[in-house]
Structure 1
Amino acid sequence: MLRRRTLVYVSVVLVVGWLTFLTISTGRAPDPGAASPHELAETFERSLRDRDAETLGRMIDLPFSEQAAFAEGYLEELSRVDASEISVALDGGQPPSVSVRVATGDGRTIEYRQRIGSSGDRWKISLVPAL
C-alpha cells in the first residue's frame, strides 16, 4: 500500500512539474512578427542567412501550427539552390513589401518581393503576392 501511494505521489509531482515547465517556457516565447517594418526586414534577412527556421517562422503571417513547416520548406529551397548571398531591403511602396535578392550557387540571381503587413502593433511577412 505504501509503495502504491509513493508511486501516485511521484506521478502527480512529475505531471505538475511538467505542466509548470510548459507554462513557463511558453510564456517566454518572443512575440511573433516585428515591432516595425525596418526590424522585420532585418530579422527576415538574418533568419534567411542563418537558416534559422524558428525565427523565420515567427516572421510569417501564418497560424502557429503551420509556421515551422513553412519556414523549414522555405529554407530547404534556399539550400536546394545553394543560396550564398541573401539581402532583404524594405520597399517604400504600397502595399508595403520587402525585396529579397538571392545569389545562387550556379551564378544566377533571384529577386522577388514579399508583401508585409501589420496586425495590431506587430509586422509580419504576408503570403499574399506583392503584385
Structure 2
Amino acid sequence: MGQARPVHIRRDVKVGLSIAAAVVWIGAVTLLIVHEPDPGAASPAELRDRLATALGSHDPDALGGLLDYPGSGGDDFAKDYVAVLADHGVHDVRVELGPDAAAPARATITGALGDGRPFSYPLTVTSEDGRWTVAFTPPLP
C-alpha cells in the first residue's frame, strides 16, 4: 500500500504539467494572433507603392498583406496569383489610384508581359479602420 501514494503523486504531477503546458501554448498562440499586423496599408499612397512592389517582384507574402480576402484563403490566393504573374513574365508594374488618389475606390494595375505586350486591369480599393486594401472583385463605377 505504501507504493500507491508515489504513483498517484507522479500521475498528479504529469497531469499538472500537461495542463500547464496547454495553458502556456494557448497563451502563446493568443499573443501571436494579437501581435499580427493588421492587413493593408496605412494610407492610399502606401497601398499604391506596396502593391506595385508586391506585384512587380512577384512576392506572395507582400501581396497577401494587402488583400481584402474573405476567410483564410488569402495567402493561398496570393501565392497562386503571383505564380501566374511570374509565369507570364510580368514586369514594369505600376499602380494608379482613382478617381481621387486621396480616397480611391479603384487601383488600376498596368505593366508589361514577358513578350512586351502591355496589360491593364482594375481592382477595388477598400478601407476599414484606417487600413487600405485591394479586393479582386470588379470595382464599382
Please tell me the TM-score bracket, short chain as reference. 0.7 to 0.9
What is aligned with 1:67?
74
Q: CA offsets, 1:57-114, max 9 Å, x none? A: 2322222412112212211111221223322222335972222123222222222122
In structure 2, relative to structure 1, the CA distance for the partners of 1:9 and 1:50 (3 Å cut) is: farther
Q: Which has the larger radius of gyration?
A: 2
Greater share of helix: 1
Which of residues 6, 14, 20 is equivalent to 1:7?
14
TM superposition score normalised by structure 1: 0.81
Question: Alignment identity in percent?
Answer: 31
Take 2:45 and 2:21, find their aligned partners in 1: how far apart are those partners? 44
Shift of 1:125: 0.7
What is aligned with 1:23?
30
Structure 1: gaps (5+ residues):
none
Which of residues 38, 47, 70 is equivalent to 2:45?
38
Matches within 5 A, 1:45-124: 45-92=52-99, 96-124=105-133
* Aligned residue pairs, count: 131
Take 2:36 and 2:47, find their aligned partners in 1: how far apart are those partners? 17
Q: Secondary structure of 2:95's match?
A: strand
Structure 2: gaps (5+ residues):
1-6
TM superposition score normalised by structure 2: 0.76
Q: Secondary structure of 1:11's match?
A: helix
In structure 2, relative to structure 1, the CA distance for the partners of 1:63 and 1:124 (3 Å cut) is: same
